[in-house]
Structure 1
Amino acid sequence: MPSFWLAGLRVEPRPALPGPITVDVAVAGGGYTGLWTAYYLARADPSLRIAVLEAAYAGFGASGRNGGWCSGLFPVPTAVLVRRYGAGPAAAMVSTLNATVDEVGRVAAAEGIDCHFAKGGTITLARSPAQVRRARAGPGFLDADAASAMCGASGVLGGTYSPHCAALHPALLARGLAAAAERRGVAVYENTRVLRLTRGAVRTDHGTVTATTVVRALEGWTATLPGHRRALAPVYSLMLVTQPLPASDWARIGLARRETFSDHRHMVVYGQRTADDRLAFGGRGAPYHFGSAVRPGYDRVPGVFAMLRRDLRDMFDIDPPVAYEWGGPLGVPRDWMPSVGLADGMGWGGGYVGDGVAAANLAGRTLADLITGADTELTRLPWVNHRSRAWEPEPLRWLGINAALRATQARDVWERRGLR
C-alpha cells in the first residue's frame, strides 16, 4: 500500500535517462535533498547543466512517506553541539534551522506549491511523571491545562511547545519541487537507478553521467550503493492515517492550528492533523535488517502497526477506522549527526534521523553555496563537512541497533510502571 500522501496523487513518472550524458552537476536521488540542491543551484547559476537521477519517481522515498513535520528539530542536542563546536556555532545551527521552516513555506508559496503548509508549531506532551521531569528540563514548558488546551489527549500532565514547526503534505511538496526545478532548467530523470558513484561520474542502469560535481542524496537508500554500506543505517519508521474524523472528535482533540504532536517517551512517535481532518500518526520500533538491507516488504510490520493503533487509542480515547498503513527507511549516521559537504568534486547531504523535511532544504542551500564557491554563513555551520565514523561491520551492527531499539522500548515500559 502506498503512503496516504502519494495515494491521492496522479504520479506519472518522467522519462528515464536516455543514455550517457555530460553535465556540470549530477545529483543521485530525487528526494528533498537532491531536489532542493538542484533548485537552489539553478537559481544561483542558470547556466549550470544539472541532472537529478531517481530510481523510481520524485518523492518515492522518505520525501513522500514522512510525517509531514517541517521542523527545526535537530537529532543532536544543543548541549552536545555546544561542547563540540562552541556556543556561537551551536546557536547558529539552531537558529538557521528554525528559520528554514519559514524558507520552505516561502518557496512553496512563491512556486505555487500547495503543500497544505500550516505553521502551528509542535507540542510534545508529558503523560507520566518521568516525562514531566524531562519536559521541565527543556524550553517551552506548559502546565497540564495549557498543554491540554492545545492538544486534548488523555492523561496530560504537562508538555513543551515550540513555534518552529509546520505541518504539510510531504508528497505534494516533493512533486511540486521537482516541477519547480524543471522550470529552472534542471533535468529530472526518473526510473533511473544509480548503481555506483565515483569522482566525476555516476553510473546508472541507463548509462553513465559524467559530471564535474557528483552529489549523493540518497538518505535511507545510501547503504545500497557499493562502498557505502556502513555510512548510514537504514532504520524503518511506520505510519498510519485514519479516515476523516467528525467535528465532535476534533472539538475535544484540538490541534486547531494543525500543531504537530508527540510526547516525551523515549521511542519516538509523531503525528499531525491533516488538511482534510484525518489523524496521521507514526513511530519507530520496526527492526533494523541485517546487512543494512532495504526491501519493499520491510515497509509493513503488523506488530508495529498494531502498536501504533494502541498508542493512538491510548492518547485520544478513540478507535477510528484506519485508511492507510505504510513505512520506509530513514538514514541514521553512527553519531546521529546529520552532515552536508563537498570534497574533491563529491558532495553529500543527509543522515537526518527522521528530521529531514526542513534540514534537507538547508542542506540544498548549503550545497549550492559550496558547489558555486560562495563563502556564506551557511557554509560555516558546524555540520558542514562533518564526517561520521562508519557503523560497525555485521553482525555487530545488527546486534547493536536492535538491542538499542529493545532497550528504548523497555525504558518506556518501566516508566509507565513508575520505575526509574
Structure 2
Amino acid sequence: MQAKTNGNISFWYADIGGLPARRPSLPGDREADVCIIGAGYTGLWTAYYMKKADPRLNIVVVEREFAGFGGSGRNGGWLSGGFSWSREKYLKTSSRGAVVDMQSAMAGTVDEVIRVAAAEGIDADILRTDNITVATNAAQLERAREEYQFYLDWQMPRERIDMLSAEEASQRIRIADIKGAFVIRDMARVQPAKLVRGLADVVERLGVTIYEGTEVTAFEKGRVTTASGTVRAPVVIRATEGFTAGLPGHERTWLPLNSAQIVTEPVPDDLWKDIGWEGHELLGNAAHAYCYAQRTREGRITMGGRGVPYRYGSATDVNGQTQQATIDQLHRILTRLLPQTKKLRIEHAWCGVLGVPRDWCTTAGFDPATGIGWAGGYVGLGVSSSNLAGRTLADLVLKRDTELVSLPWVNRTVRKWEPEPLRWLGVHSMYQLYRIADEREEAGLPTTSKLAVLADRITGH
C-alpha cells in the first residue's frame, strides 16, 4: 500500500498545515548563561523550567533544523508517564524505595504536562485515557499477566491497573483473536507536533532565544561551537536524544533506534461502530516486536512499530522518509489486529529515531565541574520523560535540593555501545530473533519463546 513518505516529516505536521517557517540561525558569536543543544521536548522543557525558576537567566537554544524536527514532532503521541526500563538495573546503584519514587515521578508527568499546557495555552489535542496492551495468543497473554503482577509487586496502585478478559477487552476495542488485555489508567493522548511547537512559542515568550538552522560542530566546558558562530556559556545542556550519535565524540553514547508509523484516512462513523475504541485508548500489543497506536482527534488511526531497526554507523533517516517494506509491515500489523480496516487508505508514513543507552535505561545528569548537563536515552518514552528531565536539569543547574535530583536515573554512568559492525549485528540479530519468536508464538507456542530471551541477552535489553 503506497503512502506519502516525506514533505512534512510526519503526519503531525501535515495536520497543522505543513512545516513551520524557520527561525533565524545564530548570527555570530554571543554569550549566555545557559546554552541548550537541541530544540525538542528535552531542551524546551529544560529552558521552560529554568526560565520560570529564574527569569533573569539568559538562555539560548541552538537547533540544527527547527524546533520539533526530531522525535518530538514524529512520535506516537503517548503521554504515558510509563516506566519500561529495568528497575533491577537502577537497583544496583540505588534502593527499592528510590526506584518506586522514580516510577511515581514519571507517572506524575502526565498531570504536569497537562497542567502546563492549560496554563500556557498550548492546544495539543490532549485527552486523558487508558493504555491497553492486547494479547492475541497464549504466550502474549502469559506476558500480559506477568506484567500486571510485576506492576503490583512494584507498588503500582491497584486502581491504576487491571487485567481484562477477552470479552471485557473486546468491549473496549474489537481486536481479532483477542485473548485478554493489560490496562494502565491515567495516561493521555497528544498531538506531538502541536505540543512541541506550542512549547517552543511559550519559551520564546518567556525570553528564551531559539536559533534554528544552527548545527553544533563541537562543545566543551563553557563553549558551544556551531557552523555560524560560538556561544560561550558556563552551563551547556546536551538535549539531542536520538541524534546524540551525530555529535563529535558521542558516536557510541546512545544508539539511534529507528521507529516508523503510518496513518489512515479518516475512519467513517459506521466503521468506528464496528471497531469500538470509543475511549480513545492508547493501543499496544504484547508481541516482542511491539506496536503502538492511537485514535487521533479527527478520527484517524496511527500505527507505529519497528521498520529498519538500526542503520549502520548510527546513521539516521532523511527527513522522516521510510521504506515501502516498512509501510507494508505496519499495514499488516494494523489489519491483523483490526481486520475491519483493510479497505482504509494509508495517507502518510514516516520514521524517526529514539535514543537507546547501552543498558536500555534512561539517564539525566549535570557535572558542576564542567557545567555540562544531559538527559535522554528514553527508549521510546520521551513525551513524558522529557518533562521530568527538564525539571530535574533545572534543579541540578540551579543547585536546588529537591526530591528530583536524588532519583536513581540522575548522574548514572552507562558504558558505551560497541564499535561497528558489532552494533549493527547485535541490533539486527535481536529483531530477527524477535520476529521468529513472534511467529512461533502466533503458530501456537504457549509460552514465551526462548529466542526472545536470547535476543534480550545479546543486547542487554
TM-score range, shorter chain: over 0.9
Does the 8 A contact of 1:26 with 1:51 survive in 2? yes
The residue matched to 1:402 in structure 2 has which SS? helix
Partner of 2:169: 147
Q: CA deviation at 1:396?
A: 1.0
SS in 1 for 2:292: strand
Shift, 1:84, TM fit: 5.1
**Displacement after TM superposition at 1:158 (Å):** 0.3
Q: TM-score, normalised by structure 2?
A: 0.89
Structure-1 residue corresponding to 2:353: 329
**Unpaired runs of at least 5, structure 1:** none
**Which letter does structure 2 place at the counterpart of 1:4?**
F
2:280 aligned partner: 258
Q: Residue 69 of structure 1 corresponds to which residue in structure 2?
A: 78
Structure-1 residue corresponding to 2:395: 369
CA contact 1:339–1:383 (8 Å) conserved in 2? yes
Between the aligned partners of 1:174 and 1:341, the Cα distance in structure 2 is: 22
Secondary structure, aligned partner of 1:121: strand
Distance, in Å, in 1 between the alignment partners of 2:68 and 2:103 is 26
Cα distance in 2, alignment partners of residues 141 and 241 from structure 1: 28
Q: Distance in 2 between matches of 1:198 and 1:56?
A: 21
Deviation at 1:299, TM superposition (A): 3.4
The offset of 1:298, in angstroms, is: 7.3
Q: Residues of 2 paired with 1:46 and 1:226: CA distance? A: 32
- Equivalent residue runs for 1:225-236 within 5 Å: 225-236=247-258
Normalised TM-score (structure 1): 0.97
Distance in 1, matches of 2:50 and 2:378, equals: 21
1:134 equivalent in alignment to 2:166: no
Tell me the CA shift for residue 297 of structure 1: 7.1
**Alignment correspondent of 1:176:** 198
Aligned equivalents of 1:298, 1:172: Cα separation in 2: 17
Contact 1:75 1:352 in 2 (8 A): no
Matched with 2:10 is: 3
Q: Secondary structure in 2 aligned to 1:142?
A: strand
RMSD: 1.3
Residues in 1 aligned to 2:323 and 2:141: alpha-carbon distance in whole angstroms: 31
Amino acid at match of 1:185: G
* Distance in 1 (alpha carbons) for counterparts of 2:93 and 2:252: 23
Q: Does structure 2 retain, via aligned residues, the 8 Å contact 1:220–1:235?
A: yes
Q: How many residue pairs are counted as aligned between the two chains?
A: 420
The residue correspondences of 1:206-245 to structure 2 (distance < 5 A) are: 206-245=228-267
Structure-to-structure mapping, 1:6-405, within 5 angstroms: 6-10=13-17, 11-82=20-91, 85-139=94-148, 140-296=162-318, 299-317=321-339, 318-319=341-342, 320-343=344-367, 344-405=370-431
Structure 1 stretches (4+) deviating beyond 3 angstroms?
77-84
Instruction: Could you tell me which runs of 5 or more consecutive residues in structure 2 were left unpaired when the two chains were aligned.
Output: 1-5, 149-161, 450-461
Contact 1:244 1:276 in 2 (8 A): yes
